[in-house]
Amino acid sequence: MISEEKLQKYQDWIFQISAYQMALALISIDKMTVAPPAGGPYRDARTAWLSGEKFSLETDPEMFRLLQEMKDDPDLDGDTRRAAYLYWRKASHTICIPKEEFVSSEELTNQAYDAWYRAKMADDYSLFRPYLEKIIENKKKFYGYRGSSASIYDQMLDDNEPGMNEAKYDAFFADVKGRLIPLLRKVCAAAPIDTSFLHRNYPAAQQKKFTEEHLLPYLNYDPSWGYQNETEHPFTYWTCENDCRTTTKYLPDNVTAAIFSTVHEVGHATFEHDIDPKYDGMILSEGVSAAMHESQSRLCENYLGRTHAFWEANFPALQAEFPDQLGGIPLDDFVRASNAAIPGLLRLEADELTYPLHIVIRYEIEKDLFDGRIGTEDLEKVWNEKYREYLGVEVPNSRDGILQDVHWCEGSFGYFPTYALGSAYAAQIVHKMREDIDVDEALRSGHYERCMNWLKENVHRYGCRYDAPEIIRRATGEEFSWNYYLDDLERKYTELYHL
């Protein structure tokens, strides 16, 4: 029986961690949206120190013992035991790291973000490489402290998606490559779909107007709890209960990029907004597995946002904003173009079919990097070779190649695979959703919330009360299978390209 006093201490501890978390989230959002660059070094040093204060709390030995006790205490309710377990698991991964090393690694990743941004703008990987080198060194050292018998990359995969490892992803990606590369080759050999009108001149200010005045309201992204800004690399952050921040990036030569990125990020946002409020202030309302999170954003982006029904509701407003560019384009042509599979350089702008191949490339590179088969000096060469091999495209520069993604400068490895896995979760979930409700009718008639309500009831509300496989079981009545995903893609593209 754990004393009331100890439980109160636990509550205070959670609150204190969440206070640092909120501050650090706001600092980070600010940095990636509007912060003046010359302040960077001064902010970064202080941010790292604050991260250290949070780290001290999270790895407090006394609290670690209490969590250990709590997670197995049959007198506590299941929610509390689960929350204690999740805090304990997180602490068990970091308690072995010396605080000074943690703090300097935090400062490094903050500096690395600026270095990445500068390198990307200068189109010069060599400006970023020294930072990446040190980040990888730190990661190896920190994972070494854990003393696990699993490989570092296995541990990274498990951290992002509990239960996953190289063997499981290898099997998944073998199927992805085995089925989608041949399909893509057939698509590329077929009569191409005209997408040229998507790439006319679409001024950013007008895209923003369409997004803010039409799209966000359609998606029920409510300004009372969510705010959207712009950044180099779109993201979603929850700073605390009822406070979500999303970002997008408007590309003047691509009218759908910011739209699908917005639908994607608002998918993330809605997920956490819909978590059962009884979990507020517990870890259960955050820290959901990465693939589960991506399943919800990618479900919104691809299985809702790219449908004909979605555009029946939204295309007229887009046309009205861009009469010269889209006035003469029939709806059907626009929807076909928005779904066309065209091998390209950028993951963020990729279509549904080529997207998982962008992920395979990153997965294989990360695996080789941490298993010691390649070093940072080989990255750009390997990257470009794989793009040629899997997607048939030549990478002309670093900016749209090795430097396109923000993840590595943040020390985030083992995350990319969750985008593909999440897409596969999404396919299975949406299959069940379509059995239960008329998704197309909901989208067509401006009732996006009907889809969200189904997701809330069957997926969102759980937060991370259960691991992903259990949530999929509850939502769909079946074990997870990626066949839904690959079957869907085969069916969709066979039809779209009349293969």
By the criterion CB under 8 A, which residues form the site for its own copies?
15-16, 18-20, 22-24, 26-27, 30, 34-39, 42-43, 45-47, 49-50, 53, 223-227, 229, 239-244
Q: How far is the CB of 194 from its own copies (least distance, A)?
A: 35
* Nearer CB in complex with its own copies: 125/237: 237
- At its nearest, how many Å lie between its own copies and the CB of residue 3? 23
For the bound state, the minimum distance from the C-beta of residue 229 to its own copies, rounded and expressed in Å, comes to 7
With beta carbons less than 8 A apart as the criterion, state whether 315 and 442 touch.
no
In 3D, which of 421, 348, 377 has the Cα closest to residue 162? 421
Question: Given the complex with its own copies, which of 26 and 382 has the nearer CB atom?
Answer: 26
Between 51 and 418, name the residue whose CB sits nearer to its own copies: 51
Least Å distance, CB 228 to its own copies, is 10
Task: Please identify, using beta-carbon distances, which residue of 29 and 426 lies nearer to its own copies.
Answer: 29
Residue 239 in tokens: 């700073």
Chain-centroid distance, C-alpha 17: 23
Question: 3-class secondary structure for the chain?
Answer: CCCHHHHHHHHHHHHHHHHHHHHHHHHHHHHHHCCCHHHHHHHHHHHHHHHHHHHHHHCCHHHHHHHHHHHCCCCCCHHHHHHHHHHHHHHHHHCCCCHHHHHHHHHHHHHHHHHHHHHHHHCCHHHCHHHHHHHHHHHHHHHHHHCCCCCHHHHHHHHHCCCCCHHHHHHHHHHHHHHHHHHHHHHHHCCCCCCHHHHCCCCHHHHHHHHHHHHHHHCCCCCCCEEEEECCCCCEEEEECCEEEEEECCCCCCCCHHHHHHHHHHHHHHHHHCCCHHHCCCHHHCCCCHHHHHHHHHHHHHHHCCCHHHHHHHHHHHHHHCHHHHCCCCHHHHHHHHHCCCCCCCCCCCCCCCHHHHHHHHHHHHHHHHCCCCCCCCHHHHHHHHHHHHHCCCCCCCCCCCCCCCHHHHCCCCCHHHHHHHHHHHHHHHHHHHHHCCHHHHHHCCCHHHHHHHHHHHCHHHCCCCCHHHHHHHHHCCCCCCHHHHHHHHHHHHHHCCC
Minimum Å gap between C-beta 403 and its own copies is 22
Nearer to its own copies, 165 or 229 (CB): 229
- Pick 46 or 186: Cβ nearer its own copies: 46
Residue with smaller CB distance to its own copies, 208 or 461: 208
Instruction: Name the minimum Å distance from CB 184 to its own copies.
Output: 41
Could you tell me whether strands 226-230 and 236-240 are parallel, antiparallel, or unpaired per DSSP bridges?
unpaired
CA gap 15, 20 in Å, rounded = 9
In whole angstroms, the minimum distance from the beta carbon of 372 to its own copies comes to 37
Catalytically active residues are: 265
Specify the residue, 42 or 196, whose C-beta has the smaller distance to its own copies.
Answer: 42
- If you compute the radius of gyration of the chain from its CA atoms, what whole number of angstroms results? 23
